Structure 1
Amino acid sequence: MPRSPKIIAGGVILVFFILLALVGPVLVDGDPTKTTDVGLAGPSAAHWLGTTQSGQDVLAQVVYGARVSLGVGLLSALIATVLSIVVGLIGGYAGGVVDEVLSLLTNIFLVLPALPLVIVLAGYLPSRGVTSVAAVIAVTGWAWGARVLRAQTLTLRGRDYVQAAKASGERAWRIIFAEILPVEFPVIATSFLATVLAAILAEAGLSFLGLANLSTVSWGTMLYFAQNNQALLVGAWWWFIPPGLCIALIGAGLGLLNFGIDEIANPRLRTVLPKRRKRFGAGR
């Protein structure tokens, strides 16, 4: 596999935040919800990213919040990817009535406005924990991946190796998951990464609107309390910039990974991009 600077850069960013979520709470000494009498203190040796209005350490909240934000993103992306694989591959391979029913279901979720639907569903949740929020986001985010996988499966089911597997008496489930699924791994990977990013943004949006569990520290809840306590007006930039910057960086990392995988998996991009680089280089 050729080296891609985008994959390397995106991978470094993603690994950093994964390590921050896994190891960070061990290294950071402090309870993110503990209140002190040092409110709205700027960055210092005692509090590297300052404190909130209630004296809570912002660095501890950023570190602990990475677990919730990444956890929601990965869990919802995993659920959505499994749904898209099942619906897309089975519908594309089976065809007929099965494909029509699954395509109708996919089209319904595609035309539904995702964010308003997430807000409505989250508002009626009896429990607003990480699992519940991830499930709601996954329910609204699987249709696009299913549509792409269905289109890929429709082109692959007529290939010679698939027809040979049919002729040899292989069962349909084995052809789908052993012959067709591995070929679609690049498409699945790009869909998974895009869903992770969308889920992190959706979780931050729900928390910012107060529709998530506000007792759980996440980057979204940090922005919610910073906005409610008018951190921007009082000049407490250290309260809202770190979580916003983390969301932007994880988004950039996932986007770079997505673009890098797409360049490697797409033969057109592999041939077009070097020509463009040479053209621009010659123009200089």
Structure 2
Amino acid sequence: MSIMTNAQETTDPRSAPGGTPGVTRATLRRNFWRGVWRVLRRKPSRMVGVVIVAGFAVMGVAGPLLYPDHLPRDDDALYAPPSLRHPFGTDFEGTDVLALVITGARYVLLTGLATAVITVALGTLIGLFAGFRRGRWDTVLMRVTDVNLAIPGLPLLLVLSTVWKFESPLEMGLVLGLLGWGGIARAVRSQTLSLRERGFIEAARGLGLPTTHIIGRELLPSMAPYIAMNMLIAVTGAVYAQVGLFFLGVLPFESNNWGVMLNLAVFNGGALTTAAALPYLMAPLLAILLLTLGIVLIVDAMDEIFNPRLREE
């Protein structure tokens, strides 16, 4: 059973000596974060992952505040090579490539976060309810899930792009999230079908507790580690999806982001044949690689944080 489930059981006021549930919760919270810190320190690579993801978060929040809406251009420095002034050189308009990566991070990160929240929220809600209730509800919800899995994402986005500019990352995240929750719903349903036969669920049903209480207080905390890791993985999937769509030119170039940079570097700058435009291509690729690496390292740490067997080893 996971840390979250153990914490839930211990925070019951009846199990706390002297009836001080607030103190018990605070102690469990401190112990949990101490355990997280120990797991992160055990492998330096995990701390590197945290630093990388935190750096991108700061980049997405503070980056656009440090640069003007329209970045300055230098007509005398088109495709300038990397230097102290321009660490990744400049693009075809003489704009600093590093500034483009930093200002373009907000759209990519917000889209990834919005996609992950919508994907995980819908998938978890539908999977939990279908797996717990079973019967007719399970059949209906799984047929809806099958329809979601059968929707061709790229053709649908091609149609939507003709009428929808996707200027806001939340709009992009909404569409990607509504298209991507089916797999998580299936996985959560399978986990729920297994957990609903456990003793603590049978005891809760025997006490006559409502379905919302059993799902929200018993099943959901037990699945929190799995859901959290799927949320991080969904962020990387959303980054790849949106960057790929912008690179292919499926979506209009209304917002600066890494996919637009890749498209312009390859098709306008000839980065695949001209060495001068290569830094313009490599900068967003490096950003995507680092972000993915950071998330993978954090997922590795989360696996040990929520897995008692791995912690004991």
Calculate the TM-score normalised by the size of structure 1: 0.86
Q: Which runs of 5+ in 1 are unaligned?
A: 275-284
Matched, 1:177 2:216: yes
Matched, 1:221 2:260: yes
Aligned match of 2:102 in 37, 56, 63?
A: 63
The alignment partner of 1:260 has SS state of: helix
More divergent stretch after superposition (35-44 vs 86-95): 35-44
The alignment partner of 1:92 has SS state of: helix
Change (3 A) 1:118 1:254: farther
Corresponding residue for residue 284 of structure 2: 243
Change (3 A) 1:144 1:22: same
1:122 touches 1:133 (CA, 8 Å); kept in 2? Answer: no
1:122 touches 1:212 (CA, 8 Å); kept in 2? Answer: no
Corresponding residue for residue 15 of structure 2: none
Change (3 A) 1:175 1:169: same
Aligned equivalents of 1:244, 1:160: Cα separation in 2: 49
Change (3 A) 1:125 1:160: farther
1:91 touches 1:99 (CA, 8 Å); kept in 2? Answer: yes
Deviations 1:28-82 (A, max 9, x none): x455554431321122343332211112221111101111111110011111111
1:122 touches 1:136 (CA, 8 Å); kept in 2? Answer: no
Change (3 A) 1:32 1:10: farther
Corresponding residue for residue 165 of structure 2: 127
2:52 touches 2:290 (CA, 8 Å); kept in 1? Answer: yes
Fraction of identical pairs, as percent: 35
Aligned equivalents of 1:117, 1:102: Cα separation in 2: 24
Corresponding residue for residue 280 of structure 1: none
2:176 touches 2:238 (CA, 8 Å); kept in 1? Answer: yes
RMSD: 2.2
Change (3 A) 1:118 1:188: farther
Matched, 1:261 2:299: no
2:165 touches 2:251 (CA, 8 Å); kept in 1? Answer: no
Change (3 A) 1:232 1:193: same
Q: Which runs of 5+ in 2 are unaligned?
A: 1-34
Aligned equivalents of 1:165, 1:16: Cα separation in 2: 43
Aligned equivalents of 1:145, 1:87: Cα separation in 2: 9
Aligned equivalents of 1:211, 1:34: Cα separation in 2: 28
Deviations 1:105-129 (A, max 9, x none): 2233335555x35643543442322
Aligned equivalents of 1:260, 1:201: Cα separation in 2: 23
More divergent stretch after superposition (217-226 vs 204-213): 204-213
Aligned equivalents of 1:231, 1:145: Cα separation in 2: 38
The alignment partner of 2:180 has SS state of: coil
More divergent stretch after superposition (176-185 vs 120-129): 120-129
2:39 touches 2:301 (CA, 8 Å); kept in 1? Answer: no
Aligned match of 2:249 in 210, 219, 227?
A: 210
Q: How many residues align?
A: 270
Matched, 1:87 2:126: yes
Aligned equivalents of 2:254, 2:197: Cα separation in 1: 53
Deviations 1:199-243 (A, max 9, x none): 000010011011234121101111111112113322122211110
Aligned equivalents of 2:98, 2:196: Cα separation in 1: 52
Corresponding residue for residue 3 of structure 1: 39
The alignment partner of 1:232 has SS state of: coil
Calculate the TM-score normalised by the size of structure 2: 0.79
Aligned match of 1:36 in 74, 88, 113?
A: 74
Matched, 1:24 2:76: no
More divergent stretch after superposition (203-212 vs 103-112): 103-112
Amino acid of the residue matched to residue 148 of structure 2?
Answer: F
